[in-house]
Amino acid sequence: MEALMSLDANRNNSVQATKNNQTQTPEASKKPLRFFITQEIGVGASLCVLIGIFSLLQPLFWDRGNFLNISRQAAEPALLAMGQAVAMLAGGFDLSIGGIMGLTSAVVAYAVLSVGVIPGMVIGVLLGTFIGFINGTLIARYRLPPFIVTLGMLSLCRGLAYIITGGLPVLNLPEEFSYLGSTGYVGGLPIATIIAVVIFCIFYTVLTRSKFGYDVYSIGGNESAARLAGINVARIRTLIYMISGSLASIASILLSSRVSSGQPSLGDGAELLSVAAVIIGGVRLRGGQGSLFGVMLGVALLAILANGLNLINMSSYVQLVAVGLIVMVASVGSVIRGPRSEE
């Protein structure tokens, strides 16, 4: 009897310790909050420096039309980075988003020609969500590594996109479809930008104010502790990859609309840029810490860097080198600061 009472007491202590550990995982924790602020200030300062440099080198950089162009071009990377951020906050990542974009672009183009613009776009979003469900199921239910699952899905989706289209773009899409990501404006802002801002506000609120957001941070901080606390880790992980897949499809629809065609190669390399934005924005590589606002600063930094280098006629190869260096520096900073925030 005494042994049973001792065992029960130990179990209760373990669960209580788990709950105590979890309370320091979300953004409400003071030490992680300092980590977020430090990262965001650093990225924000770098952003200001870049703007200042490009303004001096190219006066056209300050043109209102150029900033609207930057905001439009950053819409799709922002959506991809949001999905990637949620996955990485939970200790995973999603390399399949580039393939999802290519397959969605091909399917949506044919669907728009067959059943209309709105139904075609709905089909595209459902497709991305379903692919995310497959990713999440394989990762969460069968405990397969996210790297293997999402890398395989990247190749699978990309191959299917080329098979469906025969490797050729799908053309002659209706003007109504092009309006969404290219010519459409509301209140002086591109529709694509407005869509990205609205989705950001929704996900920022969800991550910082809901139980789902708490669970995401808890799983990334300590998955074993999250399980002991009663969090359905498999369900949350599946939802995370469904979110990432749906956001990749929305980004694909916006970009396909901008180029007025279905492109099987759409999103090539997008997965790496999304990871770059998330790391630059301060999300810890092992998960559990990070700010969606910081991730958006990372997206803005990459967008302004690309735009500014183009305006001063720098080679795209220089952009690759610059992004690589920034990611390496941000990764080192994440590793150095991560353990301190846990003390």
Handedness of CA 105, 106, 107, 109 (dihedral sign): positive
Please name the amino acid found at residue 44. G
User: How many other CB atoms sit within 10 Å of the CB of residue 123?
Assistant: 18
d(CA 88, CA 331): 13
Asked if 276 and 331 count as a contact pair (C-beta separation under 8 A), the reply is no
User: CB count, 10 Å around CB of 295?
Assistant: 31
Q: Which domains does the chain have, with CATH numbers?
A: 75-341 (1.10.3470)
CA distance 280 to 25: 20
pLDDT, residue 12, reads: 45
Q: What is the pTM of this model?
A: 0.87
Q: What is the pLDDT of residue 7?
A: 36
> What gap in Å lies between CA 240 and CA 132, rounded to an integer?
8
Site of tokens 């600061």: 337
The CA distance from 51 to 70, in Å, is 12
DSSP state of 189: E
Residues 81-116 have pLDDT tens digits of: 999 999 999 999 999 999 999 999 999 999 999 999
Gap between the Cα atoms of 216 and 92, Å rounded: 11
Distance in angstroms (rounded) separating the CA atoms of residues 251 and 102: 11
Nearest to 238 by CA among 143, 102, 318: 143
pLDDT score for 327: 84
* Best CA proximity match to 228, nearest among 9, 25, 13: 13
Please tell me the predicted confidence (pLDDT) of residue 337: 61
Q: Are 270 and 98 in contact (CB under 8 A)?
A: yes
The mean pLDDT values, 10 residues at a time, for the chain of 343 residues are 41 42 43 57 90 92 93 96 98 97 98 97 98 98 96 98 97 92 87 97 96 96 94 97 98 96 96 94 89 95 94 87 86 64 43
Q: What is the 3-state secondary structure (H, E, C) of 57-81?
A: HCHHHHCHHHHHHHHHHHHHHHHHH
Q: Are 93 and 84 in contact (CB under 8 A)?
A: yes
Instruction: Give CA–CA dist 306/240, Å, rounded.
Output: 29
Q: Please list the residues that pair with 262 across neighbouring strands.
A: 170
Residue 170: helix, strand or coil by DSSP?
strand
What is the sign, positive or negative, of the torsion defined by CA atoms of 241, 246, 251, 252? positive
Q: Cα separation of 245 and 149, whole Å?
A: 13
Q: Which helix (H) or strand (E) holds 185?
A: strand 185-186
pLDDT of residue 11: 39
